[in-house]
Structure 1
Amino acid sequence: MIEVQDIRKSFDGEEILKGISTVFPKGQTNLIIGQSGAGKTVFLKCLLGLFRPDTGKILYDGEPYSSFSDEEQRELRRQMGMVFQGGALFDSMTVEENVMFPLRMFTKQSRPTMMKRVKEVLDRVNLAEGQHKKYPVEISGGMQKRVAIARAIVNRPKYLFCDEPNSGLDPQTATVIDNLILEITREYDITTVINTHDMNSVLEIGEKIVFLQNGRLEWEGDKKVIFKTENEAVTEFVYSSDLFRKVRKAQLQGL
Protein backbone atom coordinates (compact mmCIF):
# COMPACT_ATOMS: atom_id res chain seq x y z
CA MET A 1 0.00 0.00 0.00
CA ILE A 2 1.11 3.54 -0.72
CA GLU A 3 -0.39 6.40 1.29
CA VAL A 4 -0.04 10.00 0.13
CA GLN A 5 -0.56 12.75 2.72
CA ASP A 6 -1.06 16.32 1.49
CA ILE A 7 1.95 16.46 -0.83
CA ARG A 8 2.91 19.65 -2.64
CA LYS A 9 5.58 20.21 -5.26
CA SER A 10 6.72 23.40 -6.98
CA PHE A 11 9.21 24.22 -9.74
CA ASP A 12 10.55 27.74 -10.26
CA GLY A 13 7.87 29.18 -8.01
CA GLU A 14 4.98 27.41 -9.79
CA GLU A 15 3.07 24.93 -7.66
CA ILE A 16 2.43 21.75 -9.68
CA LEU A 17 0.99 19.50 -6.99
CA LYS A 18 -1.37 21.27 -4.63
CA GLY A 19 -2.01 19.18 -1.55
CA ILE A 20 -2.77 15.68 -2.85
CA SER A 21 -3.89 13.00 -0.38
CA THR A 22 -4.95 9.48 -1.35
CA VAL A 23 -4.27 5.78 -0.76
CA PHE A 24 -3.24 3.20 -3.36
CA PRO A 25 -4.26 -0.24 -2.03
CA LYS A 26 -2.14 -3.34 -2.46
CA GLY A 27 -3.32 -6.00 -4.90
CA GLN A 28 -5.27 -3.53 -7.03
CA THR A 29 -4.67 -1.61 -10.23
CA ASN A 30 -4.59 2.07 -9.26
CA LEU A 31 -4.95 4.49 -12.20
CA ILE A 32 -3.94 8.14 -12.35
CA ILE A 33 -5.84 10.03 -15.06
CA GLY A 34 -6.32 13.65 -16.11
CA GLN A 35 -5.70 16.14 -18.88
CA SER A 36 -2.18 17.01 -20.05
CA GLY A 37 -0.63 19.39 -17.53
CA ALA A 38 -2.74 18.07 -14.64
CA GLY A 39 0.38 16.97 -12.73
CA LYS A 40 0.22 13.22 -13.41
CA THR A 41 3.87 12.79 -14.38
CA VAL A 42 5.18 14.87 -11.46
CA PHE A 43 2.94 12.89 -9.12
CA LEU A 44 4.24 9.59 -10.47
CA LYS A 45 7.85 10.75 -10.12
CA CYS A 46 7.18 11.71 -6.51
CA LEU A 47 5.83 8.21 -5.86
CA LEU A 48 8.97 6.77 -7.46
CA GLY A 49 11.22 8.91 -5.29
CA LEU A 50 12.63 10.77 -8.29
CA PHE A 51 11.16 14.01 -6.94
CA ARG A 52 10.88 14.81 -3.24
CA PRO A 53 7.70 16.67 -2.27
CA ASP A 54 8.20 20.14 -0.79
CA THR A 55 5.72 19.31 1.97
CA GLY A 56 3.60 16.31 2.92
CA LYS A 57 4.46 12.63 3.22
CA ILE A 58 4.49 9.47 1.12
CA LEU A 59 4.29 6.22 3.11
CA TYR A 60 5.18 2.81 1.71
CA ASP A 61 3.41 0.10 3.71
CA GLY A 62 3.13 2.54 6.59
CA GLU A 63 6.74 3.80 6.54
CA PRO A 64 7.38 7.44 5.50
CA TYR A 65 10.00 7.88 2.78
CA SER A 66 11.32 10.99 4.53
CA SER A 67 12.52 8.86 7.46
CA PHE A 68 14.43 6.33 5.30
CA SER A 69 18.21 6.12 5.49
CA ASP A 70 20.22 6.03 2.26
CA GLU A 71 20.39 2.24 2.51
CA GLU A 72 16.63 1.99 3.08
CA GLN A 73 16.01 4.23 0.07
CA ARG A 74 18.16 1.94 -2.07
CA GLU A 75 16.23 -1.07 -0.80
CA LEU A 76 12.94 0.66 -1.62
CA ARG A 77 14.13 1.30 -5.18
CA ARG A 78 14.97 -2.38 -5.47
CA GLN A 79 11.39 -3.18 -4.49
CA MET A 80 10.01 -1.00 -7.30
CA GLY A 81 9.35 -2.22 -10.82
CA MET A 82 8.81 0.26 -13.65
CA VAL A 83 7.21 -0.10 -17.07
CA PHE A 84 8.20 2.96 -19.08
CA GLN A 85 6.25 4.59 -21.88
CA GLY A 86 7.37 2.93 -25.10
CA GLY A 87 8.98 0.04 -23.20
CA ALA A 88 12.46 1.67 -22.98
CA LEU A 89 14.27 -1.57 -23.75
CA PHE A 90 18.00 -1.56 -24.47
CA ASP A 91 18.42 -1.97 -28.24
CA SER A 92 21.86 -3.55 -27.87
CA MET A 93 20.60 -6.29 -25.53
CA THR A 94 18.56 -9.37 -26.31
CA VAL A 95 15.20 -9.97 -24.67
CA GLU A 96 16.85 -12.18 -22.05
CA GLU A 97 19.58 -9.64 -21.36
CA ASN A 98 17.02 -6.83 -20.97
CA VAL A 99 15.06 -8.80 -18.39
CA MET A 100 18.23 -9.86 -16.57
CA PHE A 101 19.46 -6.27 -16.23
CA PRO A 102 17.76 -5.51 -12.85
CA LEU A 103 19.07 -8.78 -11.42
CA ARG A 104 22.59 -7.84 -12.42
CA MET A 105 22.13 -4.38 -10.89
CA PHE A 106 20.55 -5.32 -7.57
CA THR A 107 21.63 -8.90 -6.82
CA LYS A 108 24.73 -11.09 -6.72
CA GLN A 109 23.05 -14.20 -8.05
CA SER A 110 24.86 -16.65 -10.29
CA ARG A 111 24.14 -16.51 -14.00
CA PRO A 112 22.26 -19.88 -14.00
CA THR A 113 20.05 -18.63 -11.15
CA MET A 114 19.37 -15.36 -12.98
CA MET A 115 18.59 -17.19 -16.22
CA LYS A 116 16.11 -19.43 -14.41
CA ARG A 117 14.28 -16.39 -13.05
CA VAL A 118 14.37 -14.65 -16.46
CA LYS A 119 12.74 -17.68 -18.07
CA GLU A 120 10.09 -17.78 -15.32
CA VAL A 121 8.96 -14.20 -15.86
CA LEU A 122 9.11 -14.41 -19.67
CA ASP A 123 6.92 -17.50 -19.46
CA ARG A 124 4.60 -15.62 -17.09
CA VAL A 125 4.06 -12.82 -19.63
CA ASN A 126 3.44 -15.47 -22.31
CA LEU A 127 6.41 -14.64 -24.50
CA ALA A 128 7.32 -17.65 -26.63
CA GLU A 129 10.77 -19.09 -25.99
CA GLY A 130 11.70 -18.54 -29.63
CA GLN A 131 11.64 -14.76 -28.96
CA HIS A 132 14.03 -14.82 -25.98
CA LYS A 133 17.26 -14.51 -27.97
CA LYS A 134 15.99 -11.76 -30.25
CA TYR A 135 16.69 -8.04 -30.01
CA PRO A 136 13.85 -5.54 -29.38
CA VAL A 137 13.85 -4.36 -32.99
CA GLU A 138 13.09 -7.93 -34.08
CA ILE A 139 9.85 -8.28 -32.11
CA SER A 140 6.48 -6.51 -32.22
CA GLY A 141 5.41 -3.58 -30.06
CA GLY A 142 3.11 -5.81 -28.03
CA MET A 143 5.94 -8.27 -27.41
CA GLN A 144 8.20 -5.40 -26.35
CA LYS A 145 5.64 -4.39 -23.72
CA ARG A 146 5.57 -7.98 -22.44
CA VAL A 147 9.35 -7.88 -22.12
CA ALA A 148 9.12 -4.54 -20.28
CA ILE A 149 6.63 -6.04 -17.82
CA ALA A 150 8.83 -9.12 -17.33
CA ARG A 151 11.81 -6.86 -16.60
CA ALA A 152 9.71 -4.85 -14.12
CA ILE A 153 8.70 -7.92 -12.09
CA VAL A 154 11.90 -9.98 -12.31
CA ASN A 155 13.08 -8.73 -8.88
CA ARG A 156 9.73 -9.61 -7.27
CA PRO A 157 8.80 -5.98 -6.54
CA LYS A 158 6.32 -4.81 -3.93
CA TYR A 159 5.37 -1.81 -6.07
CA LEU A 160 4.80 -1.69 -9.82
CA PHE A 161 4.62 1.63 -11.68
CA CYS A 162 3.49 1.92 -15.30
CA ASP A 163 3.74 5.10 -17.36
CA GLU A 164 1.34 4.97 -20.33
CA PRO A 165 1.88 1.19 -20.80
CA ASN A 166 -0.45 1.09 -23.83
CA SER A 167 1.24 3.90 -25.74
CA GLY A 168 1.60 2.98 -29.41
CA LEU A 169 -0.45 -0.22 -29.23
CA ASP A 170 -3.57 -1.14 -31.17
CA PRO A 171 -6.74 -1.49 -29.04
CA GLN A 172 -6.74 -5.29 -29.02
CA THR A 173 -3.10 -5.55 -27.93
CA ALA A 174 -3.64 -2.76 -25.38
CA THR A 175 -6.43 -4.78 -23.76
CA VAL A 176 -4.18 -7.83 -23.57
CA ILE A 177 -1.46 -5.77 -21.84
CA ASP A 178 -4.02 -4.24 -19.45
CA ASN A 179 -5.29 -7.66 -18.43
CA LEU A 180 -1.75 -8.99 -18.04
CA ILE A 181 -0.90 -6.15 -15.64
CA LEU A 182 -4.12 -6.81 -13.71
CA GLU A 183 -3.38 -10.55 -13.46
CA ILE A 184 0.18 -9.96 -12.24
CA THR A 185 -1.00 -7.36 -9.71
CA ARG A 186 -3.44 -9.80 -8.15
CA GLU A 187 -1.25 -12.88 -8.45
CA TYR A 188 1.75 -11.29 -6.72
CA ASP A 189 -0.31 -8.94 -4.49
CA ILE A 190 1.60 -5.89 -5.76
CA THR A 191 0.71 -2.24 -5.28
CA THR A 192 0.34 -1.16 -8.92
CA VAL A 193 0.06 2.48 -10.01
CA ILE A 194 -0.61 3.30 -13.66
CA ASN A 195 -0.36 6.73 -15.26
CA THR A 196 -2.65 6.65 -18.29
CA HIS A 197 -4.85 8.66 -20.63
CA ASP A 198 -6.35 5.48 -22.16
CA MET A 199 -10.08 5.29 -21.41
CA ASN A 200 -10.08 1.65 -22.43
CA SER A 201 -7.75 0.99 -19.50
CA VAL A 202 -10.10 2.83 -17.15
CA LEU A 203 -12.98 0.66 -18.32
CA GLU A 204 -10.98 -2.60 -18.25
CA ILE A 205 -8.89 -2.40 -15.08
CA GLY A 206 -9.78 0.77 -13.15
CA GLU A 207 -10.11 -0.72 -9.66
CA LYS A 208 -9.03 2.59 -8.10
CA ILE A 209 -9.02 5.77 -10.18
CA VAL A 210 -7.52 9.09 -9.16
CA PHE A 211 -8.45 12.06 -11.35
CA LEU A 212 -6.12 15.05 -11.21
CA GLN A 213 -6.95 18.54 -12.42
CA ASN A 214 -4.61 21.52 -12.17
CA GLY A 215 -2.45 19.74 -9.61
CA ARG A 216 -5.32 18.80 -7.30
CA LEU A 217 -7.09 15.52 -6.65
CA GLU A 218 -10.46 16.37 -8.15
CA TRP A 219 -12.13 12.96 -7.79
CA GLU A 220 -11.44 9.33 -6.91
CA GLY A 221 -13.45 6.17 -7.29
CA ASP A 222 -13.53 3.09 -9.54
CA LYS A 223 -14.72 2.08 -12.98
CA LYS A 224 -18.17 1.22 -11.64
CA VAL A 225 -18.93 4.67 -10.25
CA ILE A 226 -17.09 6.90 -12.71
CA PHE A 227 -20.15 6.82 -14.99
CA LYS A 228 -22.38 8.01 -12.16
CA THR A 229 -20.33 10.91 -10.83
CA GLU A 230 -21.82 14.40 -10.91
CA ASN A 231 -18.37 16.00 -10.90
CA GLU A 232 -18.40 18.16 -14.02
CA ALA A 233 -14.63 18.04 -14.58
CA VAL A 234 -14.62 14.24 -14.52
CA THR A 235 -17.71 14.03 -16.70
CA GLU A 236 -16.20 16.35 -19.29
CA PHE A 237 -12.97 14.35 -19.31
CA VAL A 238 -14.38 10.85 -19.55
CA TYR A 239 -17.16 11.62 -22.01
CA SER A 240 -14.72 13.23 -24.40
CA SER A 241 -13.85 9.61 -25.20
CA ASP A 242 -15.81 7.94 -28.00
CA LEU A 243 -15.63 4.69 -26.06
CA PHE A 244 -17.32 6.16 -23.01
CA ARG A 245 -20.05 7.78 -25.07
CA LYS A 246 -20.86 4.40 -26.63
CA VAL A 247 -20.83 2.63 -23.26
CA ARG A 248 -23.04 5.28 -21.65
CA LYS A 249 -25.51 5.13 -24.55
CA ALA A 250 -25.70 1.34 -24.20
CA GLN A 251 -26.27 1.68 -20.44
CA LEU A 252 -29.10 4.17 -20.89
CA GLN A 253 -30.74 1.99 -23.53
CA GLY A 254 -30.64 -0.92 -21.12
CA LEU A 255 -32.47 0.97 -18.36
Structure 2
Amino acid sequence: MIEVKNLHKGFNGVEILKGINTSFHPGKTSLIIGQSGSGKTVFLKSLIGLHTPEKGTIAFDGKINTEFTTEEKRQWRQEIGMVFQGSALFDSQTVEENVMFPLKMFTKQPEDEMLDRVNFVLQRVNLENSNSKFPAELSGGMQKRVAIARAIVMNPKYLFCDEPNSGLDPQTAIVIDNLIQEITDEYQITTVINTHDMNSVMEIGEKIVFLKNGKKAWEGSNKEIFKTDNEAVVNFVYSSNLFKKVREAYLQEK
Protein backbone atom coordinates (compact mmCIF):
# COMPACT_ATOMS: atom_id res chain seq x y z
CA MET A 1 0.00 0.00 0.00
CA ILE A 2 1.15 3.52 -0.82
CA GLU A 3 -0.08 6.41 1.32
CA VAL A 4 0.43 10.01 0.19
CA LYS A 5 -0.11 12.75 2.77
CA ASN A 6 -0.09 16.51 2.10
CA LEU A 7 2.40 16.21 -0.75
CA HIS A 8 3.97 19.45 -1.97
CA LYS A 9 6.59 19.78 -4.70
CA GLY A 10 7.84 22.74 -6.70
CA PHE A 11 10.68 23.93 -8.91
CA ASN A 12 12.39 27.33 -8.94
CA GLY A 13 9.84 28.78 -6.56
CA VAL A 14 6.83 27.52 -8.57
CA GLU A 15 4.65 25.05 -6.66
CA ILE A 16 3.55 22.13 -8.85
CA LEU A 17 1.95 19.74 -6.33
CA LYS A 18 -0.21 21.47 -3.76
CA GLY A 19 -1.06 19.22 -0.84
CA ILE A 20 -2.11 15.93 -2.42
CA ASN A 21 -3.62 13.24 -0.18
CA THR A 22 -4.46 9.78 -1.53
CA SER A 23 -3.61 6.10 -1.28
CA PHE A 24 -3.03 3.17 -3.63
CA HIS A 25 -3.84 -0.41 -2.63
CA PRO A 26 -2.46 -3.87 -3.53
CA GLY A 27 -4.31 -5.74 -6.25
CA LYS A 28 -5.87 -2.53 -7.60
CA THR A 29 -5.17 -0.71 -10.85
CA SER A 30 -5.02 3.00 -10.02
CA LEU A 31 -4.90 5.73 -12.65
CA ILE A 32 -3.63 9.31 -12.43
CA ILE A 33 -5.33 11.58 -14.95
CA GLY A 34 -5.41 15.29 -15.68
CA GLN A 35 -4.69 17.90 -18.31
CA SER A 36 -1.15 18.76 -19.40
CA GLY A 37 0.41 20.84 -16.64
CA SER A 38 -1.83 19.36 -13.95
CA GLY A 39 1.15 17.85 -12.12
CA LYS A 40 0.58 14.18 -12.86
CA THR A 41 4.10 13.54 -14.22
CA VAL A 42 5.70 15.26 -11.23
CA PHE A 43 3.41 13.24 -8.98
CA LEU A 44 4.43 9.94 -10.57
CA LYS A 45 8.13 10.85 -10.39
CA SER A 46 7.68 11.73 -6.74
CA LEU A 47 6.12 8.33 -6.08
CA ILE A 48 9.11 6.51 -7.58
CA GLY A 49 11.61 8.67 -5.74
CA LEU A 50 12.92 10.80 -8.61
CA HIS A 51 11.63 13.94 -6.87
CA THR A 52 11.88 14.70 -3.16
CA PRO A 53 8.87 16.56 -1.74
CA GLU A 54 9.32 19.88 0.04
CA LYS A 55 6.49 18.96 2.35
CA GLY A 56 4.40 15.90 3.07
CA THR A 57 5.18 12.18 2.96
CA ILE A 58 4.94 9.10 0.74
CA ALA A 59 4.81 5.85 2.71
CA PHE A 60 5.25 2.36 1.30
CA ASP A 61 3.61 -0.20 3.58
CA GLY A 62 3.91 2.25 6.46
CA LYS A 63 7.52 3.30 5.85
CA ILE A 64 8.21 6.85 4.63
CA ASN A 65 10.53 6.70 1.62
CA THR A 66 12.57 9.78 2.55
CA GLU A 67 13.44 8.12 5.88
CA PHE A 68 14.73 4.85 4.42
CA THR A 69 18.15 3.65 5.48
CA THR A 70 20.60 2.80 2.70
CA GLU A 71 19.66 -0.87 2.96
CA GLU A 72 15.90 -0.11 3.05
CA LYS A 73 16.27 2.08 -0.05
CA ARG A 74 18.13 -0.69 -1.89
CA GLN A 75 15.40 -3.19 -1.00
CA TRP A 76 12.65 -0.74 -1.97
CA ARG A 77 14.17 -0.15 -5.39
CA GLN A 78 14.10 -3.89 -6.01
CA GLU A 79 10.38 -3.93 -5.16
CA ILE A 80 9.53 -1.37 -7.86
CA GLY A 81 8.75 -2.17 -11.49
CA MET A 82 8.56 0.63 -14.05
CA VAL A 83 7.08 0.74 -17.56
CA PHE A 84 8.26 3.87 -19.35
CA GLN A 85 6.30 5.79 -21.95
CA GLY A 86 8.55 4.79 -24.84
CA SER A 87 9.22 1.31 -23.43
CA ALA A 88 12.90 2.34 -22.97
CA LEU A 89 14.32 -0.94 -24.21
CA PHE A 90 18.01 -1.25 -25.01
CA ASP A 91 18.17 -1.38 -28.81
CA SER A 92 21.47 -3.26 -28.85
CA GLN A 93 20.20 -6.00 -26.55
CA THR A 94 17.88 -8.90 -27.31
CA VAL A 95 14.51 -9.37 -25.65
CA GLU A 96 16.09 -11.88 -23.29
CA GLU A 97 18.91 -9.50 -22.37
CA ASN A 98 16.49 -6.60 -21.83
CA VAL A 99 14.29 -8.60 -19.49
CA MET A 100 17.24 -10.12 -17.65
CA PHE A 101 18.85 -6.73 -17.04
CA PRO A 102 17.24 -6.06 -13.60
CA LEU A 103 18.13 -9.55 -12.42
CA LYS A 104 21.78 -9.01 -13.32
CA MET A 105 21.77 -5.60 -11.66
CA PHE A 106 20.05 -6.49 -8.40
CA THR A 107 20.60 -10.21 -7.83
CA LYS A 108 23.38 -12.79 -7.75
CA GLN A 109 21.29 -15.62 -9.14
CA PRO A 110 22.95 -18.25 -11.33
CA GLU A 111 22.49 -17.68 -15.06
CA ASP A 112 20.15 -20.67 -15.45
CA GLU A 113 17.84 -19.40 -12.69
CA MET A 114 17.71 -15.95 -14.27
CA LEU A 115 16.90 -17.49 -17.64
CA ASP A 116 14.10 -19.55 -16.10
CA ARG A 117 12.61 -16.39 -14.62
CA VAL A 118 12.97 -14.51 -17.93
CA ASN A 119 11.22 -17.29 -19.82
CA PHE A 120 8.46 -17.37 -17.23
CA VAL A 121 7.61 -13.67 -17.50
CA LEU A 122 7.91 -13.71 -21.29
CA GLN A 123 5.39 -16.53 -21.36
CA ARG A 124 3.18 -14.52 -19.00
CA VAL A 125 3.05 -11.63 -21.47
CA ASN A 126 2.57 -14.01 -24.43
CA LEU A 127 6.04 -13.51 -25.90
CA GLU A 128 7.53 -16.96 -25.52
CA ASN A 129 10.14 -17.84 -28.15
CA SER A 130 11.00 -14.15 -28.65
CA ASN A 131 14.22 -14.28 -26.62
CA SER A 132 16.65 -13.74 -29.47
CA LYS A 133 14.77 -10.92 -31.21
CA PHE A 134 15.84 -7.29 -30.99
CA PRO A 135 13.44 -4.40 -30.20
CA ALA A 136 13.59 -3.14 -33.80
CA GLU A 137 12.11 -6.46 -34.93
CA LEU A 138 9.05 -6.04 -32.69
CA SER A 139 5.82 -4.10 -33.10
CA GLY A 140 5.01 -1.28 -30.68
CA GLY A 141 2.64 -3.51 -28.74
CA MET A 142 5.22 -6.29 -28.47
CA GLN A 143 7.84 -3.81 -27.27
CA LYS A 144 5.43 -2.67 -24.58
CA ARG A 145 4.90 -6.28 -23.49
CA VAL A 146 8.67 -6.74 -23.25
CA ALA A 147 8.77 -3.62 -21.07
CA ILE A 148 6.07 -5.10 -18.83
CA ALA A 149 7.97 -8.40 -18.64
CA ARG A 150 11.11 -6.53 -17.58
CA ALA A 151 9.10 -4.55 -15.02
CA ILE A 152 7.73 -7.69 -13.34
CA VAL A 153 10.79 -9.95 -13.63
CA MET A 154 11.85 -9.02 -10.08
CA ASN A 155 8.34 -9.87 -8.81
CA PRO A 156 7.71 -6.28 -7.66
CA LYS A 157 5.27 -5.15 -4.98
CA TYR A 158 4.72 -1.86 -6.81
CA LEU A 159 4.28 -1.29 -10.55
CA PHE A 160 4.38 2.18 -12.10
CA CYS A 161 3.43 2.84 -15.72
CA ASP A 162 3.93 6.14 -17.56
CA GLU A 163 1.50 6.42 -20.49
CA PRO A 164 1.71 2.68 -21.33
CA ASN A 165 -0.64 3.08 -24.31
CA SER A 166 1.18 5.99 -25.89
CA GLY A 167 1.60 5.44 -29.64
CA LEU A 168 -0.46 2.25 -29.73
CA ASP A 169 -3.55 1.60 -31.82
CA PRO A 170 -6.81 1.23 -29.83
CA GLN A 171 -6.97 -2.56 -30.12
CA THR A 172 -3.37 -3.03 -28.93
CA ALA A 173 -3.96 -0.52 -26.13
CA ILE A 174 -6.81 -2.67 -24.85
CA VAL A 175 -4.52 -5.72 -24.87
CA ILE A 176 -1.92 -3.83 -22.81
CA ASP A 177 -4.58 -2.54 -20.39
CA ASN A 178 -5.97 -6.03 -19.84
CA LEU A 179 -2.48 -7.47 -19.38
CA ILE A 180 -1.58 -4.88 -16.73
CA GLN A 181 -4.84 -5.47 -14.88
CA GLU A 182 -4.47 -9.27 -15.02
CA ILE A 183 -0.91 -9.11 -13.66
CA THR A 184 -1.96 -6.64 -10.96
CA ASP A 185 -4.74 -8.92 -9.78
CA GLU A 186 -2.78 -12.15 -10.17
CA TYR A 187 0.24 -11.01 -8.17
CA GLN A 188 -1.57 -8.48 -5.95
CA ILE A 189 0.70 -5.66 -7.09
CA THR A 190 0.05 -2.03 -6.17
CA THR A 191 -0.19 -0.56 -9.69
CA VAL A 192 -0.22 3.16 -10.51
CA ILE A 193 -0.64 4.35 -14.10
CA ASN A 194 -0.17 7.87 -15.43
CA THR A 195 -2.43 8.13 -18.48
CA HIS A 196 -4.45 10.35 -20.77
CA ASP A 197 -6.25 7.37 -22.35
CA MET A 198 -9.92 7.62 -21.45
CA ASN A 199 -10.54 4.06 -22.63
CA SER A 200 -8.14 2.95 -19.89
CA VAL A 201 -10.05 5.05 -17.39
CA MET A 202 -13.33 3.38 -18.29
CA GLU A 203 -11.98 -0.16 -18.60
CA ILE A 204 -9.43 -0.65 -15.82
CA GLY A 205 -9.78 2.40 -13.57
CA GLU A 206 -10.48 0.67 -10.26
CA LYS A 207 -9.27 3.88 -8.65
CA ILE A 208 -8.86 7.19 -10.46
CA VAL A 209 -7.09 10.26 -9.11
CA PHE A 210 -7.89 13.40 -11.10
CA LEU A 211 -5.41 16.25 -10.74
CA LYS A 212 -6.06 19.86 -11.63
CA ASN A 213 -3.55 22.66 -11.15
CA GLY A 214 -1.47 20.49 -8.83
CA LYS A 215 -4.34 19.53 -6.55
CA LYS A 216 -6.44 16.39 -6.24
CA ALA A 217 -9.73 17.61 -7.65
CA TRP A 218 -11.53 14.23 -7.50
CA GLU A 219 -11.00 10.54 -6.88
CA GLY A 220 -13.17 7.48 -7.28
CA SER A 221 -13.69 4.40 -9.45
CA ASN A 222 -14.57 4.11 -13.14
CA LYS A 223 -18.14 3.37 -12.05
CA GLU A 224 -18.32 6.44 -9.85
CA ILE A 225 -16.90 8.70 -12.55
CA PHE A 226 -20.05 8.10 -14.59
CA LYS A 227 -22.15 9.56 -11.78
CA THR A 228 -19.99 12.47 -10.65
CA ASP A 229 -21.22 16.02 -10.98
CA ASN A 230 -17.71 17.41 -10.49
CA GLU A 231 -17.58 19.98 -13.28
CA ALA A 232 -13.81 19.71 -13.86
CA VAL A 233 -14.01 15.92 -14.20
CA VAL A 234 -17.03 16.03 -16.49
CA ASN A 235 -15.39 18.62 -18.77
CA PHE A 236 -12.15 16.64 -18.95
CA VAL A 237 -13.37 13.06 -19.26
CA TYR A 238 -16.48 13.72 -21.34
CA SER A 239 -15.00 16.18 -23.80
CA SER A 240 -15.69 13.76 -26.68
CA ASN A 241 -19.20 13.06 -27.93
CA LEU A 242 -18.65 9.31 -27.56
CA PHE A 243 -18.01 9.46 -23.83
CA LYS A 244 -20.84 11.97 -23.39
CA LYS A 245 -23.23 9.47 -24.96
CA VAL A 246 -21.86 6.62 -22.82
CA ARG A 247 -22.36 8.69 -19.67
CA GLU A 248 -25.86 9.78 -20.68
CA ALA A 249 -26.85 6.17 -21.39
CA TYR A 250 -25.44 5.06 -18.03
CA LEU A 251 -27.32 7.76 -16.13
CA GLN A 252 -30.58 6.95 -17.95
CA GLU A 253 -30.29 3.32 -16.94
CA LYS A 254 -29.94 4.39 -13.31
Structures share fold, TM-score greater than 0.5: yes
State the shift of 1:253 in Å.
Answer: 5.8
Q: Distance in 2 between matches of 1:45 and 1:242?
A: 33
1:23-102 alignment, distance < 5 Å: 23-102=23-102
State the shift of 1:128 in Å.
Answer: 3.5
Give the ranges of 4+ consecutive aligned residues of structure 1 lying more than 3 Å apart after TM superposition.
252-255
Q: Distance in 1 between matches of 2:237 and 2:247?
A: 10
Q: Which runs of 5+ in 1 are unaligned?
A: none
Spell out, residue by residue over 1:146-192, the C-alpha distance to the aligned partner (whole angstroms, 9 max, x if none): 10000000000000000000001000110010000000001000000
The residue that corresponds to 1:132 in the other structure is 131
The residue that corresponds to 1:103 in the other structure is 103
Match of 2:82, as an amino acid?
Answer: M
Spell out, residue by residue over 1:40-88, the C-alpha distance to the aligned partner (whole angstroms, 9 max, x if none): 0000011001111001010001111122112211211111000000211
TM-score where L is the length of structure 1: 0.97
Please state whether the residue corresponding to 2:149 is helix, strand or coil: helix
Instruction: State the aligned residue count.
Output: 254
State the shift of 1:133 in Å.
Answer: 0.8
Q: Distance in 1 between matches of 2:208 and 2:66?
A: 26
Q: Distance in 2 between matches of 1:85 and 1:246?
A: 30
Contact map agreement 1:90 1:98 (CA 8 A) in 2: yes
Q: Does 1:145 align with 2:144?
A: yes
State the shift of 1:242 in Å.
Answer: 4.2
Q: Does 1:168 align with 2:167?
A: yes
The residue that corresponds to 1:9 in the other structure is 9
The residue that corresponds to 2:178 in the other structure is 179
The residue that corresponds to 1:195 in the other structure is 194
The residue that corresponds to 2:205 in the other structure is 206
Q: Does 1:228 align with 2:232?
A: no
Contact map agreement 1:179 1:205 (CA 8 A) in 2: yes
The residue that corresponds to 2:20 in the other structure is 20
Contact map agreement 2:226 2:250 (CA 8 A) in 1: no
Cα 1:242–1:154 change in 2 (3 A) is farther
Spell out, residue by residue over 1:209-239, the C-alpha distance to the aligned partner (whole angstroms, 9 max, x if none): 0000000000000000101111100010001
Contact map agreement 1:199 1:243 (CA 8 A) in 2: no
State the shift of 1:241 in Å.
Answer: 3.2
Please state whether the residue corresponding to 1:186 is helix, strand or coil: helix
Q: Which runs of 5+ in 2 are unaligned?
A: none
Q: Distance in 1 between matches of 2:166 and 2:225?
A: 23
Cα 1:65–1:171 change in 2 (3 A) is same
Match of 1:28, as an amino acid?
Answer: K
Contact map agreement 2:96 2:118 (CA 8 A) in 1: yes
Q: Distance in 1 between matches of 2:149 and 2:92?
A: 18
Q: Distance in 2 between matches of 1:63 and 1:241?
A: 41
Please state whether the residue corresponding to 1:247 is helix, strand or coil: helix
Q: Distance in 1 between matches of 2:95 and 2:242?
A: 34
Please state whether the residue corresponding to 1:211 is helix, strand or coil: strand
Match of 1:162, as an amino acid?
Answer: C
Contact map agreement 1:3 1:59 (CA 8 A) in 2: yes
Percent identity of the aligned residues?
A: 69
Cα 1:242–1:167 change in 2 (3 A) is farther
TM-score where L is the length of structure 2: 0.97
Moved more, 62-71 or 192-201: 62-71
